[in-house]
Structure 1
Amino acid sequence: MQPFLPMSPILTSKLPEGDEWIYQLKWDGFRILAFVDNGKVELFSKKMLSKNRNYPDLIEALEQLSGTFVLDGEAVILDPATGRPSFQKMQQRDKLTDPALIRRAVAREPVHYMLFDVLQIGDEDLRGIPFRERFRRLEELASGWKPPLYRTDQYADPGTLWEWVTANEWEGVIAKRAGSPYREGKEHKDWFKRKRAVRHEVQAVGILLKEGRVASLVMSREGRYFGRVSSGLNERVKRELRGLKTGRIIEDYFMGTPEGLRSAEVMWLEQPLTILVTGREVTESGLLRHPKLLALEGITL
């Protein structure tokens, strides 16, 4: 099987329901495809970049398996403090290039491979058969496998699963049409994802410019840098922001220059604005991940 664009779920605010749908947890990690051929293993990212160097622990586990197959799944690191997958820890792991640092990371925070699809077994290409059958084949194939290889679970009730995700602060839920084949990319209406979002009321303290134009707002939460938000700003709102009084300096808001603002051109607001933003999570460094502006004091979005 040649490299290809993995099938990806389409973002939705409401999951489809009915007997034709199967539901799975959305794991907050990095998509990994594994090409296994009797001890020879090739790992690929969602963009089909080689990941063998990054995840020797997964290579070692997959090398022990006999047979030829192509697996699709998510590589995750579980945060010992919360028990939840940590995207930030996966980002840190994925950026490592020094073999010694990678070995230490493997020992300290092992990666788990959460399998949700099998695309080939032997010489048989399974992408054209229904998802329910591919998953059954995956269950048979992986029945005796051990950690760090795991087969994901399936659920029939999206409402109960979503309540659990919300209560336990997991990333979201995937809905998959049971009879769907495996199609590349998002050219389909068969896989959907709903992500949990959190809301924060924070302050906008600066306007970041790019080539002289408004690009984003600088956020502050309890006196600490909270990141930048650009999603939700349209051209009309940007024009109104340029009319606000500025003239403060960075020291009026932060102790030192946050890493995300180094070399940035920022106009510091004379009076901070209260804004409502949504995002995926707050990272360990105190920044809001994937922020989006919902409301802005005194300005209609």
Structure 2
Amino acid sequence: MTKPPKPKPLLQEADKPVRSRPSKPRDPAQPNLPLDPMPDRIEPCLALLKARPPKGDNWVYEIKWDGYRLAVHIEPRGVRILTRSGLDWTHRFPLIEAAAKALPVSTAIVDGEAVVLDERGRSDFGLLQQSLGGRGGKKRSSNAVFMAFDLLYFDGHDLRNSELDIRRHLLEGLVPAGGQGDIRLSEEIEADGDQLLASACQHDLEGIIAKRRDAPYRSGRLGDWLKIKCVQSDSFVIVGYERSTVARAGIGRLLLAARKGDELVYVGGVGTGFNERSAAELREQMDRLIIAKPAVDTGRKRNAVFVRPELVAEIEYRAWTHDLKLRHASYKGLRDAADNAAVYELE
């Protein structure tokens, strides 16, 4: 399903990277090509959730990665790796930083996702969290790789107004397809969207991303990029937990809430998906936030402990009940504040 690789525009016949320097003395009669100032930070383009893939030849697809959205800034003074909320996490991803320094480019901003892959090559958010020491941890990841999927700035030129096909063409020259380094290309797949989604689900992937070929790069969730998931997975606020004498770390069930306008609304609980490590980490963090009264109406709960609504958990689930409660929910991990994850919003 992967399309044949395009010619690499950044390589000469001798396979030497093309740099932004003149190959011969410039004709004084010709004007200088203006250079664009390099943005200090760019708000990311976000994918809009849809139930089915879009139709038409103007859409291309990628695998949906489950990790931390990052922007890698390559500058004359070094490399900066920024989270979705704009925090500098360069020190948290030393292997990605080193790989970025080795790319054949003077200045660039590469958009992508930091992931940890399991033994089957699938991105695993829980493994990524472990590699960073959990939510609020300070560890440096020794096994995260960066899946690059867009190029926003290249050798003095802002590419955001260029259509996706042009940005991808340049990106594939910078990060060749099929690489196995610490920065890899998230490859485009030309296929029927429904068939690709079925294949992704069959291989237990999270889903696919659809992108408009002719769209510029626009910050926000405007519909140029769409995400279609095999299993629903969203972020919810933890508002408490139910005690258990037999469950790991004494957590029988997490109590969860979603947003509805400016308020939080209880959407049920989750009692599966924990291991010894994640349950212990959860209990430690929640016990620092205990409050006397619940932040939302959870109904009558036995053995419930309520916490301030500050922790955000990624929850996988199959459906919603008629009264807007999660069905078949499973805990995946805590979202770090630096990830700026959007809490699920009820209609």
Match of 2:131 in 1: 93
Match of 1:10 in 2: 48
CA contact (8 A) 2:79 2:100 kept: yes
Take 2:333 and 2:147, find their aligned partners in 1: how far apart are those partners?
23
> How far did 1:146 drift?
5.2
Gaps of 5+ in 2: 1-37, 269-279, 295-299, 304-320, 335-341
The answer to whether the aligner puts 1:32 opposite 2:66 as a matched pair is: no
Match of 2:214 in 1: 179
Counterpart mapping for 1:27-66 below 5 A:
27-37=65-75, 40-66=78-104
> How far did 1:160 drift?
1.7
> How far did 1:20 drift?
0.5
Take 1:228 and 1:10, find their aligned partners in 2: how far apart are those partners?
26
Within the candidate set 171, 174, 184, 1:138 is matched to 171
Please give the secondary structure, in 2, of the residue aligned with 1:180.
coil
* Higher percent of residues as strand: 1
Take 2:343 and 2:202, find their aligned partners in 1: how far apart are those partners?
21
CA contact (8 A) 2:259 2:343 kept: no
How many residues in Structure 1 have an aligned counterpart in Structure 2?
242
Letter of the structure 1 residue corresponding to residue 206 of structure 2:
E
Q: 1:160 to 1:36 in 2, by over 3 A?
A: same
CA contact (8 A) 1:39 1:62 kept: no
Please give the secondary structure, in 2, of the residue aligned with 1:163.
helix
In percent, how many aligned pairs have the same letter? Answer: 26
Letter of the structure 1 residue corresponding to residue 256 of structure 2:
V
CA contact (8 A) 1:38 1:63 kept: no
Take 2:210 and 2:327, find their aligned partners in 1: how far apart are those partners?
23
The answer to whether the aligner puts 1:22 opposite 2:63 as a matched pair is: no
Counterpart mapping for 1:108-127 below 5 A:
110-127=143-160
CA contact (8 A) 1:32 1:75 kept: yes
Within the candidate set 319, 326, 332, 1:277 is matched to 326
The answer to whether the aligner puts 1:160 opposite 2:162 as a matched pair is: no
Which string of whole-angstrom CA distances, capped at 9 and with x for unpartnered residues, describes residues 153-210 of structure 1? 2123211221122222222211101100001112x231111223269xxxxxxxxxx9
Please give the secondary structure, in 2, of the residue aligned with 1:53.
helix
Letter of the structure 2 residue corresponding to residue 143 of structure 1:
P
Q: 1:284 to 1:121 in 2, by over 3 A?
A: closer
Letter of the structure 2 residue corresponding to residue 70 of structure 1:
I
Please give the secondary structure, in 2, of the residue aligned with 1:88.
helix
Normalization by structure 1: what TM-score?
0.67
Match of 1:203 in 2: none
Q: 1:291 to 1:51 in 2, by over 3 A?
A: closer
Gaps of 5+ in 1: 200-209, 242-255, 293-301
Letter of the structure 1 residue corresponding to residue 164 of structure 2:
F
Normalization by structure 2: what TM-score?
0.59
Within the candidate set 107, 110, 117, 1:71 is matched to 110
The answer to whether the aligner puts 1:149 opposite 2:183 as a matched pair is: yes
